[in-house]
Chain A
């Protein structure tokens, strides 16, 4: 890979033996951390978009009276009237008995079992995109008109969840930063060792008129080549791991789990990680060599 003529016997030294595997390990971790971060970001934006624009209004079940169908319940009609006249609300629909029963089914069993129970009336409210509705004020107005009516603002629940996701994302980014720092540190260490090993050769190159950049270029190309080799090893190990996690996640039937799939752009960014790692290795090697050589005559 990247065979260039070199005056330094870099092939068999510590740089060549050690660096590809370190870079492979770092790229493996970086790919997993990045993929995890993308899945969380995706989940956060989907939940945010889906839930932020809805409210649920709850009206307690009628007590001691004949149970009317939701659409005929005067309290429901009153609530709908208030909601439909509130600016920013584009839709307010009362949930039918069947829909209620199906929502309760996981807890209370088949729909027939709940048909006779006094259930609260739920109104699904959709808010116009780009506007906000003061859920607290709306709740107060509804409570004044209808005893016991309340507004369930999903935003509060969602905010907490998004905060949690945000924290996990920061942790993923911190892991990526640590991986980057560890890579830089490793390359610096390996390059310095290599410089010490080849000091005699470098001195001869200097004495016959080589610029620092001439020597640094050889180290930089070597680091790039080793970095690419290591990066591809790391990527080829990480991809099966990612696909396995994705496969397992896809077979868990849960609305709560984030969708474990990545967009082409995100796959592209993951594929760029080995390139980034080798570019970091190349730049670090060059800077290390230039700094070390500056101390020589």
Chain B
């Protein structure tokens, strides 16, 4: 294949994870995700999907094994260099983890402000993206006044606002109707076409079948679907057909380009 594993966006080698002195919740996980690949992470509840994502977005360190992100071995990366790595990752948390005292606008603006973006650019990008996810009339709404589905869209907007190189989403469409779910998936597809590596944990088998991307199947803390050819799929082959909806509106491209 001629692909260097160091070029992988995410690489796990024999990774194990346990919380405290408990049993291993993840065992011998080995994966390699190439740039611009698109994977669904599936498996029953409690299988370890969220733990796997948490390792990927650097909320946890593995108890054993090697994790490398963007070619950097996490175990030897100095702590003060981790924020720069995290800025290349967009995360949609299962429970959203939005800051409830801030408005929808300020929540979405957060990653840009943390990265030191000029306030005029922040204003423009955030308003445009919030409009695209259907929250034009709720830009300055306080979080508690928004419905679950609206909050989820704010969470997704926050995750993609920086055009991350790696997008990790934990049940990103759990609280929205099918039409909005598809619309959000288009956003992910569009990001993927622009080079973002995407991993989406979901229970929505219909969506998985419809979009047709390869699956990482976790069960009992182990990766049971071992399809290395799928994981090492090179850029450009992701999202090629498989029943995906037509390309989203040019406005999306405007936001993300």
Contact = CB atoms under 8 A, between A and B. Distances in A.
Interface string B52-87: 000001111100000000000000000110111011
Given A207-B59, A208-B111, A7 B99 contact: yes
A150 to B, nearest CB: 76
B101 A9 contact: yes
A209 B99 contact: no
Contacts of A208: 86-87, 91, 110-111, 114, 158
Contacts of B101: 9
Interface of B: 57-61, 79-80, 82-84, 86-87, 91, 97, 99, 101-102, 106, 110-111, 113-115, 158
Contacts of A294: 79
B77 to A, nearest CB: 11
25 contacts: A7-B99, A7-B106, A9-B99, A9-B101, A203-B59, A204-B99, A205-B114, A207-B57, A207-B91, A208-B86, A208-B87, A208-B91, A208-B110, A209-B83, A209-B87, A209-B111, A209-B114, A209-B115, A210-B114, A211-B80, A212-B80, A294-B79, A297-B60, A297-B61, A297-B82
Most buried by B among A7, A205, A207, A209: A209
A204 B97 contact: yes
A207 B82 CA distance: 9
A43 B118 CA distance: 58
Contacts of B60: 297
A200 B101 CA distance: 13
Contacts of B79: 294, 297
A201 B102 CA distance: 11
A206 interface: yes
Contact of B83 (A200, A201, A211): A211
Interface in A187-233: 200-201, 203-212, 214
Interface in A97-151: none
A208 B85 CA distance: 10
Nearest to A212: B80
Contact of A207 (B58, B102, B106): B58
Nearest to B60: A297
B110 A205 contact: yes
A183 to B, nearest CB: 28
A187 B87 CA distance: 31
Nearest to A204: B97
Interface string A1-22: 0000001010000000000000
Contacts of B59: 203, 207, 297
A209 B61 contact: no
A7 B110 contact: yes
Nearest to B82: A297
Contacts of A207: 57-59, 86, 91, 97
Nearest to B54: A207
Contacts of A200: 97
A201 B99 CA distance: 7
A206 B97 contact: no
B61 to A, nearest CB: 6
Nearest to A201: B99
Interface string A276-297: 0000000000000000001001
A129 B115 CA distance: 67
Nearest to B116: A214
A200 B79 CA distance: 19
B80 to A, nearest CB: 7
A208 B106 CA distance: 14
B151 to A, nearest CB: 14
Contacts of A9: 99, 101
Nearest to A203: B59
A115 B65 CA distance: 108
Contacts of A206: 83, 86
Nearest to A205: B114
Nearest to A214: B114
A212 B114 CA distance: 11
Contacts of B57: 207
A120 B242 CA distance: 123
Contacts of A7: 99, 102, 106, 110, 113
A117 B148 CA distance: 106
A203 B83 CA distance: 12
Instruction: List the 8 shortest-distance A-B pairs measured between CB atoms, nearest first.
Output: A209-B87, A209-B86, A9-B101, A210-B114, A208-B111, A209-B83, A211-B83, A204-B97
Contacts of A201: 99
